[in-house]
Amino acid sequence: MVETSFGKPYSEFKNNGIWQRVFDKEVSIEELIWHRDYENRKIKIVSGVNWKLQLDNQLPEILKIGNTYKIPRMVYHRLIKGEGRLIIEIKEYKETKWKLDTQKQWETQLPKCGLMILH
């Protein structure tokens, strides 16, 4: 397990390719800035009450424990402070893996109506 959180508004640990970030309840709202990441990410909410995720040009969404959220690479986003501390797990994906996951998710949500979708 490796900790790499110097100068950040969270503590961060990596274990088996998954990052775990902990945002303390005392974090300042000024530290939760708009930013972009170099890789596609999926975040899973481990704990936190009324924390929100806001992607560029979208309304904030309340983060729910157990849910997973996608953050596309190079899209501005920010966290909005809630109550208590927030704990998230982060997985990063290369572009091809992201496209495959998105396509699989799309295909499983299509109604079984016999239509063919051409790419």
What's the maximum distance between 2 C-alpha atoms anywhere in the chain?
54
Cβ atoms 43, 12 nearer than 8 A: no
Q: What is the mean pLDDT of residues 33-62?
A: 96
The answer to whether position 111 is within a domain reads no
**Res. 7 pLDDT band, cuts 50 70 90:** confident
Give the pLDDT of residue 94.
Answer: 79
- Residue 113 phi, psi (nearest 5): -115, 10
The answer to whether position 112 is within a domain reads no
Task: Find the domain containing 71 and state its range.
Answer: 2-95
The answer to whether position 82 is within a domain reads yes
The answer to whether position 91 is within a domain reads yes
CA dihedral 72, 103, 91, 34 (to 10 degrees): 10
Give the model confidence (pLDDT) of 57-105 as tens digits: 999 999 999 999 999 999 999 999 999 999 999 999 876 655 656 555 5
CATH of the domain at 41: 2.60.120.10
Task: Pick the closest to residue 55 from 72, 38, 37, 76 (CA basis).
Answer: 76
- Residue 80 phi, psi (nearest 5): -115, 125
Our measurement of the distance from residue 39's CA atom to the centroid of its chain's CA atoms, rounded to an integer in Å, reads 11
User: Any residues with CB less than 8 A from the CB of 119 and at least 6 apart, and which?
Assistant: none
Percent of the chain with pLDDT over 70: 74
**How many domains is the chain partitioned into structurally?**
1
